[in-house]
Amino acid sequence: MESLAIVVATLFLIALLAGPLSILLSSRFIHSRLSGKSSIGIMILNVLRKIIHLLFVAFGTLVGVQFLFISGLPLIPRAVGLFSVITCYIGLRREYFPEFFAARELLAKLGISRKSGRSSGNDGHGPEGQH
């Protein structure tokens, strides 16, 4: 029974930590540190970082999906599984698709746009009132 508890604890740790660690490995701080120099050591570290990132994303997604779709599990393991899948997706998208803004384009089609803090000229405070 102790070995079963160790397996379950390991699965929960994978589900809880894989996504945040993949987000950490795809952070701008690490990208800037590894892309500034072009030596063999930095290239090896960058390849190693990508391999570890893919392992975290793969294991976190697999364990998270298992927690989501096993029937009879209580709410907490399902929530942990959902957290794992969502954070692994965020880490994967930040690493390999940083310029993909599907939600922004969808909201723009619906007429909801993100304001940049500048006047568009249609708000009544345009350049005609300036001197």
pLDDT at residue number 7? 94
pLDDT per position as a tens digit, 64-112: 999 999 989 999 999 999 999 999 999 999 888 877 666 777 777 777 7
Using CB atoms within 10 Å of the CB of residue 7, give its burial: 0 to 12 exposed, 13 to 18 middle, 19+ buried: exposed
Other beta carbons within 10 angstroms of residue 29's beta carbon come to 8
Q: What is the DSSP string of 7-53?
A: HHHHHHHHHHHHHHHHHHHT-HHHHHHHHS---HHHHHHHHHHHHHH
pLDDT per position as a tens digit, 17-38: 999 999 999 888 888 887 777 7
Percent of the chain predicted with pLDDT > 70: 82
Regarding pTM above 0.85, the answer is no
14-23, 38-47, 65-74, 121-130: which range is least confident on average? 121-130
pLDDT at 54 over 70: yes
pLDDT at residue number 98? 74
Task: From 56, 60, 57, 51, select the one nearest 11 (Cα to Cα).
Answer: 60
pLDDT at 60 over 70: yes
